């Protein structure tokens, strides 16, 4: 998400920066381009209007044009306003995560249009609450409209090991919701997570039903689940749901698509409610907190190193890291270690995902995606290592031509691929030696991305 | 063999989730036919556009300010900045600085929109020589593929054709069950395997079986997938490849289902699906909300992929053929 917007804004800023002194005309031209970039990114028109008015007011002032680095000032103003929209009134700390401070069972209601991803999100959220916050969750489906919707949530509940409120045929959503709360209470649940039927915001009857459910369970959180690919209609849907039903926050789905993500800005600005999470993939654990500042940085191509480091810390298993550190101290780095590095890299979401978090890589990333880096390459490389004998992995020098042919055949790859991996391994081993001289301090935790000399593995 | 058992107890729409439609639009007597329903669906889409047009153009000179407001209005229909500029420019050429009535602006706008979508307004033609006629339905998650298949199944069954459904969404939980319920409602046999089964293998078996049974039409559902996931798109290509082993011309139609609430990303979707699996036609869903589907106009101009039908509700009847004139007129709020 946001890639194209990032590129477009980057281009505008590049042109600005190339000029030393800015005239009022230069700034106005840049602002016009920013307006088009935002509209093409599907930011809703009313939001664009307000945004441009606010930025213009600041950006054409004398103190910007007279400043030593006018272009830098304009970029900063745009960044600050973007961040302000995404952040809203609350402080950053407040806006993060989901506030569940209420008497249990805390009711959480998920609302949205058909196909916005409510049911999948319900499962993701339940898993997150269960595993990260040690909450006892009850999953409930109020979707009596879409065929097999209840079954879908029941299946997902089983997959993630979260109880699902048994369905009683013919029961109305409000009744199910009441029963769910009672059941949650008697079972000692912390959270009752209610998934609703998708509804169009112009559907009077369904909106009344949503309001009735809300009145019946008095949810502590009413979250609008919305697709990151939503266009200008975001305005109508955000208005309708917040006015008719009432919202406390937003979950943005399909952020892993290539949408330019204007919906994030629109929904945030129009509802005035924070985006609490974003769905980043089809797997049940692909739900991440939405950090306004970091996302604003990402949009403007400033990267999100904080998220990257966190991700690394989270994914790299401590033991593995310590083992690696010990190995490094002893100056050995064999193919088993490389294999575990590859696995970790893959767990972090592959190269594309990691690159998107690095600063200033907007353009590089585009080129890379045009070069079509195959994420599967990591898997193939693991397969190559798996096809080696233990002795070969410990002592790669053994690998002569005949052994390499065998390994290629065994892993379903080719000898050049094996050779490439070996070259990569040698480069890394070389680097390890240098690192040893520097001392391993802090390396185990932060050094991971640096292990790939020259960036991504090529194929 | 439950295959061609045409269930005698044809279920009479077990509590069809239709009530909302009724509640919304008390009008739409069946006599009005598809157009009435389409209009009812699009009415909400055009309501806001209309409101805006009236505000801008009642007793007003078509000056730069008015034109730029008009342009913004078109942008708000998801038409995209460039096409909106073009349409506004065409008004500038012909009517600049004239005193214009809202009706006139609307007519001009409708004419321009119709001109742009006319070339792609083509129905889905079932070639009777090709039996079974294989229709592969693709799209991103949540766009409405399964519901669209149900609507198509109902439509073709009502025409008296033998329709077979293939539950190719083997990824999402309970997707197979969802299609099976629709199969029961529309009286079409469903070929399914368990969750997690290979979708291409299922498609192959489904075609084989449909051929054996002499079906007229095979509708293949697929799992929703984001168009930027290379591996998932590869899976889709595999489905097409294996179908060709049984019938070199299959799939005879590849339908891309687009959600009307999607903004400019619809372009990326159309481009990727077209490139990877050769989309032959578009169905746009969820036009019964406030979304205007303006992106169809810019899609038509850019890719020229035929637009077959519009989804205007959740029940099996709510699929309407795409028709350029009425789409354009409805979009700008003109009576056809």
How confident is the model over A285-298, as pLDDT tens digits?
Answer: 999 988 877 777 76
pLDDT of the residue at B11 = 40
Give mean pLDDT, residues A188-197.
Answer: 95
Q: Does B43 touch chain A (CB under 8 A)?
A: no
Give chain B's mean pLDDT.
Answer: 83
Which two tokens mark B7? 């269930």
- B19: chain A residues, CB-CB within 8 Å: 205
Query: Confidence band (pLDDT; 50, 70, 90) for B30?
Result: very low
**Residues, chain B:** 336
**Chain A to chain B, count of Cβ pairs less than 8 Å apart?**
161
Would an 8 Å CB–CB cutoff place B181 in contact with chain A? Answer: yes
Chain B residues whose beta carbon lies within 8 Å of the beta carbon of residue A232: 75-78, 263, 291-292
Shortest alpha-carbon distance between residue B182 and chain A (Å)? 8
Lowest mean pLDDT among A196-205, B24-33, B225-234: B24-33
Cβ–Cβ contact B36 with A under 8 A: no
Distances (CA, A) of A70 to A27, A54, A63, A66, A369: 9, 17, 9, 7, 33
Three-class SS state of A227:
strand
Which of these, B129, B130, B185, lies nearest to B153 by C-alpha position? B185
Closest CA to A26 of A75, A65, A79, A82: A65
d(CA B167, CA B180): 8
Summarize the confidence of residues B320-330 as an average pLDDT. Answer: 87
Q: What is the pLDDT of residue A343?
A: 75
For B274-306, the pLDDT digits (tens) are 999 999 999 999 988 888 889 999 999 999 999
**CA B114 to mean position of chain CA atoms:** 17
Residues A332 and A343: their CA atoms lie apart, in Å, by 19
The tokens 């592969």 sit on which residue?
A: B136
Question: Chain A within 8 Å of B290 (Cβ-Cβ)?
Answer: yes
Query: How do strand B217-220 and strand B163-166 relate by DSSP bridges?
Result: parallel
Q: Which residue has the higher pLDDT, B335 or B104?
A: B104
Of A357, A356, A345, residue with least CA distance to A381: A345
- Of all residues in chain A, what percent carry a pLDDT higher than 70? 75
Contact residues on chain B for A282, CB-CB shorter than 8 A = 141, 171
- Pick A141 or B41 by higher pLDDT: A141
Identify the burial level of A235 via C-beta atoms within 10 angstroms of its C-beta, where 0-12 means exposed, 13-18 middle and 19 or more buried: buried
The fraction of chain B above a pLDDT of 70, given in percent, is 81
pLDDT at A136 over 60: yes
**B60-61 and B99-100 beta bridge pairing:** antiparallel
Q: Please indicate whether, in this complex, the C-beta atoms of B44 and A262 are within 8 angstroms of each other.
A: no
CB A350 within 8 A of CB A456: no
d(CA A142, CA A219): 14
What is the least distance, in Å, from the CA of A283 to any CA of chain B? 10
> Å from A161 to nearest chain B CA?
15
Residue B23 scores a pLDDT above 50: no
Instruction: From chain B, pick out residues whose CB is under 8 angstroms from the CB of A258.
Output: 226-228, 265, 268
pLDDT of residue A176: 96
Instruction: Answer yes or no: do A282 and B171 touch at CB < 8 A.
Output: yes
How does the average pLDDT of chain A come out, rounded? 81
- Continuous H helices in A19-148: 24-40, 45-59, 62-65, 70-87, 92-95, 118-132
ipTM over 0.85: no
Look up residue A459 and give its DSSP letter. -
Of B19, B140, B173, the CB nearest to A205: B19
Q: What is the tens place of the pLDDT at every residue in A35-50?
A: 988 898 899 999 999 9
In tens, the pLDDT along A282-337 reads 889 999 988 877 777 767 655 555 555 555 555 555 566 666 666 666 667 788 87
Decide which of 2.40.50.140, 1.20.1260.10, 3.40.720.10, 3.40.50.300 is the CATH code for A97-303: 3.40.50.300
Tell me the mean pLDDT in the region B238-265: 95
Q: Which residues of B touch A229 (CB under 8 A)?
A: 140, 259, 262-263, 265
Structure tokens at A424: 């990569």
> Stretch B226-231: mean pLDDT, rounded?
91
The pLDDT score that the predictor gives to residue A320 is 64
SS3 (DSSP) at B290: coil
Nearest residue of chain A to residue B139 (CA atoms): A115
Q: Report, as an integer, the average pLDDT of B23-33.
A: 37
CB A239 within 8 A of CB A250: no
User: How close, in Å, is residue A372 to chain B by CA atoms?
Assistant: 9
Q: Which of the two residues, B29 and B296, has the higher pLDDT score?
A: B296
User: Tokens for B262?
Assistant: 């999607």
What is the CATH class of A307-450? mainly alpha
Query: In this structure, are residues B164 and B218 in contact, taking their beta carbons and an 8 Å threshold?
Result: yes
Range with the poorest average pLDDT among A247-251, A371-375, A413-417, B329-333: A371-375
Whether the Cβ atoms of residue A237 and residue B261 lie closer than 8 Å to each other: yes
* For B43, nearest residue in chain A (alpha carbons): A202
pLDDT tens per residue, range A396-419: 888 899 999 999 999 999 999 999
Encoded tokens for A184: 């949650």
Residue of A nearest to B268 (CA): A258
Q: What's the topology of domain A3-93?
A: 1.20.120
Cβ-proximal residues to B279 (8 Å cutoff; 6+ apart), any chain = B138, B254, B255, B256, B270, B273, B305
User: CA-CA distance, A415 to A397, in Å (whole number)?
Assistant: 16
A407-413 contacts at long range (C-beta below 8 A, 24 or more positions apart): A408/A384, A411/A380, A411/A383, A411/A384, A411/A386, A411/A387, A412/A380, A412/A383, A413/A380, A413/A383, A413/A384
Smallest CA-to-CA distance from A452 within A367, A351, A359 is with A351
Q: In Å, what is the CA distance from B78 to each residue of A75, A262, A394, B171, B222?
A: 27, 12, 59, 31, 27
Distance CA A417, CA A422 (A): 9
The pTM (predicted TM-score) of the whole model is 0.75
Q: What are the residue boundaries of the structural domains of chain A, listed by start?
A: 3-93, 97-303, 307-450
**DSSP-assigned letters across all residues of B133-175:** EEEEEE-STTS-HHHHHHHHHHHHHHTT--EEEE----SSTTH
Chain B CB contacts of A42 under 8 Å are: 78, 263-265
Quick: pLDDT tens for A225-266. Answer: 999 999 999 999 999 999 999 999 999 999 988 888 889 999
Task: Choose, out of A229, A240, A262, the residue to mutate when testing the contact with B (most B CBs < 10 Å).
Answer: A229
Helix (H, G, I), strand (E, B) or coil at A392: helix
Chain B: closest CA distance from residue A209 (Å): 11
């Amino acid at each position: 998400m946001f890639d194209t917007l990032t590129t477009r804004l980057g281009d505008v800023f590049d042109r600005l920066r190339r000029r030393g002194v800015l005239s009022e005309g230069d700034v106005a031209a840049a602002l016009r381009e920013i307006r088009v970039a935002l509209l093409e990114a599907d930011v809703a028109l009313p939001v664009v209007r307000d945004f441009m008015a606010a930025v213009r007011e600041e950006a054409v002032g004398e103190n910007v044009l007279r400043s030593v680095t006018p272009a830098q000032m304009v970029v900063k103003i745009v960044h600050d306003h973007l961040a302000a929209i995404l952040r809203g009134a609350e402080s950053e700390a407040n806006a993060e995560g989901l506030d569940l401070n209420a008497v249990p069972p805390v009711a959480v209601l998920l609302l949205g249009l058909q196909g916005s991803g409510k049911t999948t999100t319900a499962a993701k959220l339940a898993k997150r609450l269960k595993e990260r916050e040690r909450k006892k969750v009850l999953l409930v489906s109020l979707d009596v409209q879409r065929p097999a919707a209840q079954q879908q949530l029941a299946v997902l509940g089983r997959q993630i090991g979260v109880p699902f409120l048994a369905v009683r045929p013919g029961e109305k959503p409000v009744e199910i919701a009441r029963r769910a709360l009672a059941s949650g209470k008697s079972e000692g649940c912390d959270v009752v997570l209610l998934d609703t039927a998708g509804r169009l915001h112009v559907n009077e009857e369904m909106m009344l039903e949503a309001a009735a459910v809300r009145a019946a369970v008095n949810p502590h959180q009413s979250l609008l689940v919305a697709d990151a690919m939503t266009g200008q209609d975001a305005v109508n849907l955000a208005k309708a749901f917040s006015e008719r039903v009432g919202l406390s926050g937003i979950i943005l789905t399909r952020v892993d698509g290539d949408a330019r993500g204007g919906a994030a800005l629109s929904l945030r600005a129009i509802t005035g409610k924070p985006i609490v999470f974003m769905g980043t993939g089809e797997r049940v654990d692909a739900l991440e907190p939405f950090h306004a500042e970091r996302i604003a940085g990402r949009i403007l191509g400033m990267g999100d190193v904080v998220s990257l480091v966190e991700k690394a810390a989270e994914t790299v298993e401590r033991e593995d890291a310590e083992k690696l550190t010990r190995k490094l101290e002893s100056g050995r780095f064999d193919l088993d270690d490389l294999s575990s590095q590859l696995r970790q890299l893959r767990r972090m979401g592959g190269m594309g995902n990691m690159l998107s978090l690095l600063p200033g890589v907007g353009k590089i990333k585009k080129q890379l995606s045009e070069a079509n880096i195959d994420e599967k390459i990591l898997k193939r490389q693991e397969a190559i290592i798996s096809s080696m004998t233990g002795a070969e992995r410990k002592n790669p020098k053994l690998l002569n031509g005949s052994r390499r042919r065998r390994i290629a055949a065994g892993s379903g790859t080719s000898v050049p691929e094996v050779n490439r991996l070996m070259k990569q391994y040698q480069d890394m081993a070389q680097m390890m030696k240098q690192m040893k001289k520097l001392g391993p301090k802090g390396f185990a935790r932060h050094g991971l991305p640096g292990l790939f000399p020259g960036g991504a593995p090529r194929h | 063999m439950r295959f061609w058992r045409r269930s005698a107890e044809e279920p009479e729409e077990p509590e069809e989730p239709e009530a909302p439609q009724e509640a919304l639009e008390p009008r739409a007597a069946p006599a009005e036919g598809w157009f009435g329903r389409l209009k009812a669906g699009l009415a909400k889409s055009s309501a806001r556009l209309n409101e805006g047009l009236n505000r801008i153009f009642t007793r007003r000179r078509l000056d730069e300010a008015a034109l730029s407001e008009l342009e913004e209005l078109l942008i708000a229909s998801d038409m995209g900045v460039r096409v909106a500029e073009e349409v506004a420019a065409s008004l500038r050429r012909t009517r600049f600085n004239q005193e214009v009535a809202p009706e006139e602006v609307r007519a001009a706008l409708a004419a321009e929109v119709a001109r742009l979508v006319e070339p792609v307004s083509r129905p889905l033609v079932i070639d009777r020589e090709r039996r079974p006629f294989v229709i592969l339905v693709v799209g991103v998650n949540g766009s409405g593929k399964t519901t669209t298949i149900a609507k198509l199944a109902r439509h073709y069954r009502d025409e008296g054709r033998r329709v077979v459904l293939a539950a190719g969404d083997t990824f999402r939980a309970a997707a197979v069950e969802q299609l099976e319920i629709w199969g029961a409602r529309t009286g079409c046999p469903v070929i399914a395997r368990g969750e997690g089964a290979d979708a291409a293998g299922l498609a192959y078996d489904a075609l084989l079986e449909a051929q054996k049974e002499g079906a007229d039409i095979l509708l293949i559902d697929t799992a929703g997938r984001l168009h930027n996931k290379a591996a998932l798109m590869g899976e889709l290509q595999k489905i097409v490849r294996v179908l060709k082993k049984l019938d070199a011309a299959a799939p005879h139609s590849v339908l891309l289902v687009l959600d009307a609430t999607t903004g400019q990303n619809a372009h990326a979707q159309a481009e990727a699906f077209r490139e990877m699996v050769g989309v032959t036609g578009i169905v746009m869903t969820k036009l019964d909300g406030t979304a205007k589907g303006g992106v169809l106009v810019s899609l038509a101009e850019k890719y020229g992929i035929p637009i077959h039908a519009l989804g205007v509700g959740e029940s099996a009847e709510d699929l309407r053929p795409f028709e350029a004139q009425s789409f354009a007129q409805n979009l700008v709020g003109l009576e056809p």
